[in-house]
Chains A and B, each alone.
Chain A
């Protein structure tokens, strides 16, 4: 299948789009070797600073760099404004949905979403039923993955409402670009993003249990061997809060404390970066060494806030994703500003029949999968791979959804010593507390292999700095 993607920088005639013109002029004025040299410099700096991620399935302690590309992804002001409204709208609806299904379940009663889709979902947590959380906010930090289709339209590919990661790369990429190419920043009006940790901290403090005047916020990590450990340490440091592991905390009289050199200290808000399953061995996985025994008791007693809340996974599950536009209409009475990608739900017989007949053209994903694992990209697969996946689908169709193979937009990327188009997506980070706030831009991920559509870092993806231009140029 021939894909004809939208290029972020170059219009059809090969001329730079208006918002890329200044960058293009600068690029043309650069000596041939300078970019390669700057790229090498960036790699060396990232290594020294230790901006790495651990790779699962490799030797213990293996750390790798996420490849950084030196060509920025630029968004004009107007496009960002629209994205920003759409992201706020979507996140508000998702939070309303989470509140609803853990309370009266109006949306299920109204028949907008089949009840079994929600209540039989493994990510639905009955422990949350009837529990009021501060401000009614469940997804305090949301990473909404946005792609641009061949018509130039933005679409939401996926919502990440559990423990979305990547924001540290967004911040470090900007620092790196400013270090490598300061001249570009004086020539453009690029919206700043480095206040993200302040906004995040304020946001977390705003959802502390009622009555706590000066809340203590901590970041809960699984430890130094977790793939996102760099980010955990980075954010804790930038916010000036303790980076804790489960073993550093304990629960007494329904309150959470951390063990310090001066004795126990009360904890009010836990920004957790471990999954629900590991939070409390008394309630969830009993073998978990990462959590805090009794945490859920304290949580249910309203003595501590957990961000994101427990049970948000039911709203970002791929089987619930197709219903998000309906949620926006149901809770907000608005039309979605950013649409979804067309999705077939294979538990529906007619969708299943269509998908099996067109497998070679489609992308099939596991409903609960993440990180680009357990996924079939039809056009890039061999006949044998297609046959094997077909068998897996037929064995358990409920586990899968399918989407058209999107011609994700491309952006010039420095590969093999020259610039070539590579597919990209965008993950903006939406913070919900007393208000909704989004720092301009997000993390642009890029598939570094020519033609590849998989941007996940665990699958060889890289990242780019993302610029939102402050005013029309």
Chain B
């Protein structure tokens, strides 16, 4: 398949995954904003979220204060803000449009109608009730897109590059969400106590892990247990281990003459997560581990780009 086509497919799925991650984030904060007495926690959580997304500066160009409504709109429907959900959906659709011939018509139509509807919602301006509806809708569209991808696409290279995009984005997202709460994960922090149960349940909900946590851990939510589940559990769809495993397996299916080293990197990341224990990571320092991991994921993405996606100057 054409390198350019693979590149578009990879970014198409990254942007859809990113839109879903943003929707999950907004969703949990939005729920929090409807509760009484949560405003201090909410503001703190919103601030660390903006910082984890590297969009704090962009936000403050528009708004002086961290206000929930303003943050929600900024992250979801703001067409001027390049990293908003609406613009992620646009980017996903533009990438899909560039390679629509390589997609099943169902997948193309799903992405196209998602964008058409998002654009019309964004142009109408949103009321508070709409934001809740909109992010619910974004999650549904992302589920639908994933379902259509898995349900209709041939299991060929196009599919594998789509999946690589999805899981790299997801791994990056999970690592950043954990990093945003790094102060609770520092070695000095008391692992047994709960710094702020609500913030950690917000995180769990953002990653669709709240019910799962309840099933695998009895008792209170502790940062270390959450970190364990989101880093090392193989059966947890958004955990770093699961994401790395998927990236590695899909990468093996598209291997070419120059990709051996990239495959080795992906395999090493997977093996490290597979064989390590949470105690090892605590000893290393969880924040330090997460920062290293985020860096490695980004370097892996760059390697994949140069091996497969960006065509070398001569053949």
Residues of A at the B interface (CB closer than 8 Å) are 47-50, 223-224, 229, 233-234, 236-237, 242-245, 247-248, 250, 252, 257-264
Contact = CB atoms under 8 A, between A and B. Distances in A.
A259 B4 CA distance: 8
B3 A248 contact: yes
A250 B314 contact: yes
Nearest to B113: A48
Nearest to A265: B2
A270 to B, nearest CB: 14
B182 interface: no
B220 interface: no
B6 A261 contact: yes
B256 A48 contact: no
Contacts of B100: 50, 233, 237
B248 interface: no
Contacts of B161: 261
Interface stretch (B91-99, B168-176, B275-283): B91-99
Interface in B210-269: 254, 256-257
A271 to B, nearest CB: 13
B4 A263 contact: no
Interface stretch (B28-36, B101-109, B135-143): B101-109
B129 interface: no
Contacts of A234: 101
Contact of B105 (A47, A49, A248): A49
B38 interface: no
B315 A47 contact: no
B249 to A, nearest CB: 17
Nearest to A230: B100
B256 A263 contact: yes
B314 A237 contact: no
Contact of B2 (A48, A244, A252): A244
Contacts, number: 74
A380 to B, nearest CB: 36
9 contacts: A48-B112, A50-B112, A243-B102, A244-B2, A247-B4, A259-B312, A259-B315, A261-B2, A261-B6
A247 B109 CA distance: 27
Nearest to A239: B101
Interface of B: 1-6, 94, 97-102, 105, 108-109, 112-113, 116, 157, 161, 254, 256-257, 308-309, 311-312, 314-315
Given A224-B94, A248-B4, A259 B113 contact: no
Contacts of B2: 242, 244, 248, 258-261
Closest 10 CB pairs of A and B: A237-B101, A259-B311, A264-B315, A236-B101, A233-B101, A50-B112, A233-B100, A261-B308, A243-B101, A224-B98
A47 to B, nearest CB: 7
A209 B63 CA distance: 64
Contacts of A224: 94, 97-98
Given A237-B100, A243-B101, 20 more contacts: A48-B109, A48-B116, A49-B109, A50-B100, A50-B108, A50-B109, A229-B97, A233-B99, A233-B101, A243-B102, A244-B2, A245-B4, A248-B3, A258-B2, A259-B312, A261-B3, A261-B161, A262-B1, A262-B256, A262-B257
Contacts of A229: 97
A224 B5 CA distance: 12
A48 B113 CA distance: 5
A252 B315 contact: yes
Contacts of B108: 50
B90 to A, nearest CB: 10
A303 to B, nearest CB: 16
Contact of A259 (B3, B98, B105, B112): B3
A260 B1 contact: yes
A254 to B, nearest CB: 15
Contacts of B102: 237, 243
A33 B92 CA distance: 38
Contacts of A259: 2-4, 311-312, 315
Residue of B113, B256, B311 ringed by the most chain A CB atoms within 10 A = B311
Contacts of A243: 5, 99, 101-102
Nearest to B101: A237
A234 B311 CA distance: 24
A244 B309 CA distance: 14
Contacts of B314: 250, 252
B260 to A, nearest CB: 14
Contacts of A223: 98
A290 B43 CA distance: 50
B1 A250 contact: no
B133 to A, nearest CB: 21
Contacts of A248: 2-4, 311
Given A50-B97, A244-B2, A263 B315 contact: yes
Nearest to B110: A48
B73 to A, nearest CB: 24
Contacts of A261: 1-3, 6, 157, 161, 254, 256, 308-309
Contacts of A260: 1-3
Nearest to A224: B98
Contacts of B109: 48-50
Contacts of A233: 97, 99-101
Residue of A49, A229, A244 ringed by the most chain B CB atoms within 10 A = A49
B98 A257 contact: no
A50 B105 CA distance: 10
A376 B315 CA distance: 50
Contacts of B94: 224
A258 B256 CA distance: 15
Nearest to A232: B101
Nearest to B158: A261
Nearest to A262: B256
A47 B116 contact: yes
A22 to B, nearest CB: 32
A245 B98 CA distance: 10
Nearest to A49: B109
A252 B314 CA distance: 9
Contacts of B157: 261
A259 to B, nearest CB: 4
A264 B313 CA distance: 11
Nearest to A242: B2
A261 B312 CA distance: 11
Nearest to A45: B109
